[in-house]
A and B are shown apart, each in its own frame.
Chain A
């Protein structure tokens, strides 16, 4: 039983990880007032280019680099459209997601074509010396991919940045009252662009985690809505990083149940388990579980003057 629980915790962490990475980046962007509905597209693009880079170079770390770079490119265009051209953020996001799905599917078929299902070089699991052999905790926490530890450190960093640095203060101000921030001398557009790029970089890591660290291959539409779940987690978490990460872990746990329950011999319809994280997300977004106020200027483009 204890072993099962340890595996459950480990898989919750593993399955929640891409959500946590993407959501904590998205949180920064949303606190700055830019909603990246394109998170799903960023992750999918990253997953593909991560796999491609890793396969082409034989080095999974270079693969991660490719993933982050690809996602940053998407984020840069998103930032340009939604911050500089003041395009509707929802429409831009949906457009990106459709584009990313089409483009990665096409490229996958063209490039990998015959050798689909080929395993690509993946990131190693980092068995932390002395800790990974601990009973229970070793299995639960210390036999994860390197990205997990790196990602957790990044989340702490994001918390520090948001709450204890001038950049974080600027991010929160441009997301709540961009006009006031502007008058205080904060460069609103630049702050927002940077925040979108943070979301892009984190979504890149999330995508890389899925294709290189977790599954070691690319399949069509392999993110399978994880980007949307990350968006839901930000809302569920009330735009607070701790609660957002908790929400991601909850979604991760719901996903992990799909594998755990059958393993424990508990018969639940698979369809229901597949649905569970999305159902939770829906309830969260609908405000059933404690609604909190979004940043005041979320999705609202900023223009100086009248």
Chain B
């Protein structure tokens, strides 16, 4: 297959492509050919220019330099609409669905003219889904679907236009582990139907399963472009990060700095027995469905407890409750010795509860404000005299913090929105970890969308906090990370704590079984 297609000209050819945003050279001299019937992976760390490249191909931006050709003709789409019409479809990292409309309405949008025939169109949706091996209910309201289902709706939306090239920008970043395989199967089937697929990711392990070719971007330049068959993982990683990195397990393992866990934790324990106590927390949503069911967990000072589970099994609700943003229907929770069940977010902060929310953009920060303002959002009072903000002191303090926590930005005064995801997360973490007192840290999906070096930095900080005696609840859907970082792992399934396991690599299968609801552990009755 690969041999025969090599002779054909590529469906999409990029030649010296460049894109500049103001003073930032996002992409430079990228030349690449993508053939029909293949899955082309595009690897790169955050900020490497992967999304920019996709957006150029799809006509979201115009290029600054170079040429593109699609199907043998020069390619310079003025807008996504033009790209769609001419045979390129794209599944974006952030879904472009209207949550309040149904799947069929979303898919008809821009596709049909005149009167709407929902029934016939719905049948077409079912057909296409079936052809590529999955199921989709056309009449479901998008806002009520799971992330995986929404993504499949996006994919069908693209496939309905019968594109010759399908671009998927970080499609696996939002998916729970169990749904990634299904997505890759769909990619394979799409390629096998004679189309080309561009799959953007920074998760190396995934691509081996599905890619025909792999290209690596670093700092806006193409640093590798080869057949997957002959590719060496180590070389690819090296190309991606541009320096030697330890594999994930090693990178996340406890640094060997001679400080043993046990004494530190014992020392920090002091008068408190528990840093965080959840006692029978239950949450019902407004439709009366139980989202969190009698959740009980105790975390000692200095302990890191991982909460594993496929996304949508009550983690979000638990995170909201512990942040003081959602009142539980039943149950109580304490941080230190303070009951905070109905106290609200400000009281959680005052009691020493550091919160790293799941949704970095909407909840954790104010993207339009500066880095310094965001880093001290919960302590602005310290820099206020006579009701006025003492900005110079704020910036000085922020600069120190930025160095300590390795937040890379042009300065404390730049807008938070200009930072990369990793640096934003490090800044949020810096804010929460410098609370005084800090009793407990609740970090929800703290590494989502971050590149390997940022993941490493985030966990280094979390681990350091635990050594200082902070009890940490780490909510994540990345089981490997939990195993590497946590002391023990509790598993959430359909809002219930279904079991608890030591954080050891040998427990992976057992934890996986709990996550999928196949077995109930003895402890959970």
Contact = CB atoms under 8 A, between A and B. Distances in A.
Partners in one complex: yes
B270 interface: no
Interface string B446-475: 000000000000000000000000000000
A193 B96 CA distance: 22
A201 B156 CA distance: 38
A176 B101 CA distance: 9
B100 A184 contact: no
A185 B96 contact: no
Interface residues of A, number: 24
A84 interface: no
B196 interface: no
Interface string A156-179: 000000011110111011001101
B85 A185 contact: yes
What secondary structure prevails in chain B residues at the interface with A?
loop
A166 B111 CA distance: 8
A283 to B, nearest CB: 23
Contact of B116 (A166, A177, A305): A166
Interface string B93-112: 00111111100011011111
Given A177-B98, A177-B99, A182 B109 contact: no
Contacts of B99: 176-177
Interface in B90-140: 90, 92, 95-101, 105-106, 108-116
A166 B108 contact: yes
A180 B115 contact: no
A222 B85 CA distance: 50
A168 B105 CA distance: 11
Interface centre among A185, A186, A296, A305 (most CB of B within 10 A): A185
A176 B109 CA distance: 13
B340 to A, nearest CB: 29
A36 B110 CA distance: 26
Interface string B255-266: 000000000000
A181 B101 CA distance: 12
A176 B143 CA distance: 12
A30 B45 CA distance: 41
B108 A169 contact: yes
A275 to B, nearest CB: 35
A297 B197 CA distance: 33
Contact of A176 (B60, B61, B92, B98): B98
Nearest to B84: A185
B368 interface: no
A184 B96 contact: yes
Contact of A183 (B80, B113, B116): B80
B98 A173 contact: yes
B85 A180 contact: no
A304 B84 CA distance: 16
Nearest to B113: A166
Contacts of A177: 96-99
A305 B60 contact: yes
A181 B109 contact: yes
Given A177-B97, A180-B97, A185-B81, A169 B114 contact: no
Interface in A259-306: 293, 296, 304-305
A304 B79 CA distance: 10
A165 B114 contact: yes
Interface in B146-193: 157
Interface residues of B, number: 28
Contacts of A172: 98, 100-101, 105
A169 B114 CA distance: 10
Interface in A144-166: 163-166
A176 to B, nearest CB: 5
A181 B81 CA distance: 10
A179 B108 CA distance: 16
A184 B109 contact: yes
A166 B112 contact: yes
A166 B114 contact: yes
Contacts of A164: 115-116
Contacts of B97: 177, 180
A262 to B, nearest CB: 46
Given A181-B98, A182-B80, A169 B109 contact: yes
A163 B108 CA distance: 12
Contacts of A180: 95-98
A101 B109 CA distance: 40
B61 A305 contact: yes
Interface centre among B81, B85, B110, B116 (most CB of A within 10 A): B110
A165 B115 contact: yes
Contact of A186 (B90, B105, B109): B109
A304 B58 CA distance: 13
Interface centre among B61, B81, B85, B90 (most CB of A within 10 A): B81
Interface in A180-210: 180-187
Contacts of B113: 166
B80 A185 contact: yes
Interface in B55-97: 60-61, 79-81, 84-85, 90, 92, 95-97
B19 to A, nearest CB: 12
Contact of B92 (A163, A169, A183): A183
A170 B108 CA distance: 9
Given A165-B115, A165-B116, A166-B116, A186 B110 contact: yes
A170 B109 contact: yes
A181 B110 CA distance: 8
A151 B253 CA distance: 72
A305 B56 CA distance: 12
A305 B101 CA distance: 23
A42 B352 CA distance: 56
Contacts of A181: 98, 109-110
A64 to B, nearest CB: 29
Contacts of A170: 109-110
Contacts of B84: 185
Interface centre among A168, A177, A293 (most CB of B within 10 A): A177
B381 to A, nearest CB: 32
B51 to A, nearest CB: 11
B102 to A, nearest CB: 11
A296 B114 CA distance: 25
A102 to B, nearest CB: 37
Contacts of A165: 114-116
A172 B110 CA distance: 12
B21 to A, nearest CB: 9
Contacts of B90: 183
Interface centre among A164, A180, A293 (most CB of B within 10 A): A180
26 contacts: A164-B116, A166-B112, A166-B115, A169-B101, A169-B109, A169-B116, A170-B109, A172-B105, A173-B98, A176-B101, A177-B97, A179-B96, A180-B98, A181-B98, A183-B80, A183-B96, A184-B96, A184-B106, A184-B157, A185-B80, A185-B81, A185-B84, A185-B85, A187-B81, A304-B79, A305-B61
Q: Which 6 pairs show the lowest CB-CB distances between chains A and B?
A: A185-B81, A180-B96, A184-B110, A183-B96, A185-B110, A177-B98
Interface of B: 60-61, 79-81, 84-85, 90, 92, 95-101, 105-106, 108-116, 157
Interface of A: 163-166, 168-170, 172-173, 176-177, 179-187, 293, 296, 304-305
Given A169-B109, A304-B60, 13 more contacts: A164-B115, A165-B115, A166-B116, A168-B116, A169-B108, A169-B116, A173-B98, A180-B95, A180-B96, A184-B106, A184-B109, A184-B157, A186-B109
